[in-house]
Amino acid sequence: MSNELFERHKALLDLALAATATRGAFNAWPDNPADYNDVLAAEGRQAFANYCDSYFYLDQPGVGERIGRETSPYGFELGIQYPKTNLASIMSVAQRAGEAWSKVELDTRAGVLLEILHQLNTRSFELAQATMHTTGLPFDLAFTSGGPHAQERGLEALALTYNEMKSIPAESLWERGEGAQAVRIKKTFKVVGRGISLTIGCSTQPNWSAYPGMFASLMAGNALLVKPHAHAVLPLAITVGVMRHVLKDAGFDADLVMLVVDDEVRAITQSIATRPEIKIIDYTGNPDFAAWLLDSAQGKVVHCATAAVNPVVVDGTADLPGLLKHLVHSVARAGGRTCLSPRVIFTASAGVQTPAGGVTTEEFDERLTQAFQRFTNDATAACALMGALPRHDFDARIDGAAMFGEVLVESQPLTDPMHPDGYFRSPLVVRVRPDHADSYMHEWFGPIVFLVECETIADALTRAAALTREKGAIVASLYSLDAGVCAAAEEAFGSTGATLCLNFTGEAYPGSSAAFSDFHLSGMNPSGNSTLTDSAFVAGRFRVVQTKTLL
């Protein structure tokens, strides 16, 4: 059974490995819902409806009480009750399952994990609904982020881990000297997991953020505990359910992967994270908790992805209307709730250069304002791009940001006829002075962007790079027709570790991070301490033990 799974999926693994080496474009699965069988969309909606107002089935040990208070930002309670897991009882179970799993042959493990990804892919519509109604993301983004793009990041991490482990030979013969002096030693090398790995999920991209660490840790031979954000449990609960199902089907201990659910009142993350059995932690979320984790980790491997105050620097463009539209879309996309959303737009007092001559900053600001207003005027399209917001989180934040400068574009409540009970707000644009750094050097998560006019473009680059270095950014964007400015930006952002996107317009978004191609995070600034997609991310998840026999 198990080797059969590996044979079945081996070609995909090979393609994934080739893609991680060349880092060109590769899609393991279609990311357009239209490319899937028609019936899947309806089945996904039905599956989601069945989850609501029910007990979520998960045959984990130590289940007594139930827990769960998720609310869809589209305006209803999910009413899903998850098993509330007793930590004391699952730790030893996870440990044992991990020890057994660590002894399973690499190809067999890979086969099981590839089958899990395959089965997750067939449930992408269900995962899309789950993601949409926990995060508030619009359907299309919930589909990619909860489905194929997450699965691809999982496959990428699996492939990288597999590759690292395979680079360790199973055995070697060590020979030295001749005749009576000859020494011959047979060495065997085993790659083993480290124990239990903990994934702490986030509320905005629960699957996409979690899958890399989950699949890397499992491939490396660890047991896995998944602790979703209390507001976005369902996508990871479904994932854990699929994992347990496939493991069991393939003859392995399903308790290798367990879900741990908490809520604000009974928060459990700190208790689990400090347990000695936990050897690896993957966390996506706020910087304060990441700092606590790093401080408290004491010898654990901790990978964190946190706040990103991504800058955009506008120097010049060959297509001002295209640029304006693109900026509005970048800010509005997913309601500004991705780790790649732009947060601050820097310009220079000389204005914006175009082939037809300079545009003053006043004119640029005015035209940008108009572009945002046009966008907001089509409320249905705006809601479809932005998604719904969890009201209690975003209301105060948007209104708070508005107090930090001059409001150029007000954030208005919007109504989406498709989701009359959802909470929608249009983007807020605030102009601040460059020396009011406290206002904009901060991640205002949501549909909020700051406009900062600097003296010169060099000054703008300096400030944007300082923002990245001090507060963290994953991506920086530059619009310029001047090769010297482009080179200066490459230099400035290169040293901060933010990915620089040059003159992105049309369908190319700085907010897209493609599996197998983009190194997500550099680990060089406060946005995170490692890249989700390189050998440093996976190599520490397993260990090598050796036995030497004198022959």
**Residues engaged in binding a second copy (CB under 8 A):** 21-25, 99, 164, 167-169, 172-177, 181, 183, 185, 187, 189-190, 192, 194, 291, 294-295, 298-299, 490, 493-495, 497-508, 510, 514, 517-519, 522-524, 529-531, 534-536, 539-540, 543-550
For CA atoms 405, 411, 412, 413, the dihedral sign is: negative
Cα(404)–Cα(344) distance, integer angstroms: 13
Tell me the DSSP string of 40-92: HHHHHHHHHHHHTTSBPP---TTEEEEE---EETTTEE---BEEEE-HHHHHH
Looking at the Cβ atoms of 281 and 432, the one nearer to a second copy is 281
Looking at the Cβ atoms of 393 and 534, the one nearer to a second copy is 534
Interacting residues of 497 by C-beta distance below 8 A, sequence separation 6+: 468, 522, 523, 524, 525
| Min dist. Cβ of residue 540 to a second copy (A) | 4
Looking at the Cβ atoms of 176 and 392, the one nearer to a second copy is 176
Looking at the Cβ atoms of 429 and 461, the one nearer to a second copy is 461
Q: Which two tokens stand for residue 101?
A: 């799993």
| Min dist. Cβ of residue 200 to a second copy (A) | 17
Looking at the Cβ atoms of 181 and 403, the one nearer to a second copy is 181
Q: How far is CA 398 from CA 393, 426, 446, 512, in A?
A: 9, 10, 8, 24
Location of structure tokens 């060099």: 458
Looking at the Cβ atoms of 22 and 271, the one nearer to a second copy is 22
Q: Other C-beta atoms within 10 Å of 207: how many?
A: 30
Apex CA 45: angle with CA 42 and CA 46, to 5°?
85
| Min dist. Cβ of residue 407 to a second copy (A) | 31
Cα(151)–Cα(343) distance, integer angstroms: 27
> 316 forms bridges with which residues in the sheet?
353
| Min dist. Cβ of residue 504 to a second copy (A) | 5
Looking at the Cβ atoms of 305 and 388, the one nearer to a second copy is 305
Looking at the Cβ atoms of 2 and 102, the one nearer to a second copy is 102
| Min dist. Cβ of residue 32 to a second copy (A) | 11
| Min dist. Cβ of residue 25 to a second copy (A) | 5
Cα(540)–Cα(40) distance, integer angstroms: 38
| Min dist. Cβ of residue 546 to a second copy (A) | 5
Q: How far is CA 188 from CA 98, 167, 174, 184, in A?
A: 21, 14, 11, 13
Backbone angles phi, psi at 96, to 5 degrees: -65, -45
> Which has the closest alpha carbon to 69: 260, 262, 205?
262
| Min dist. Cβ of residue 531 to a second copy (A) | 6
| Min dist. Cβ of residue 506 to a second copy (A) | 7
Cα(72)–Cα(380) distance, integer angstroms: 19
Looking at the Cβ atoms of 256 and 401, the one nearer to a second copy is 256
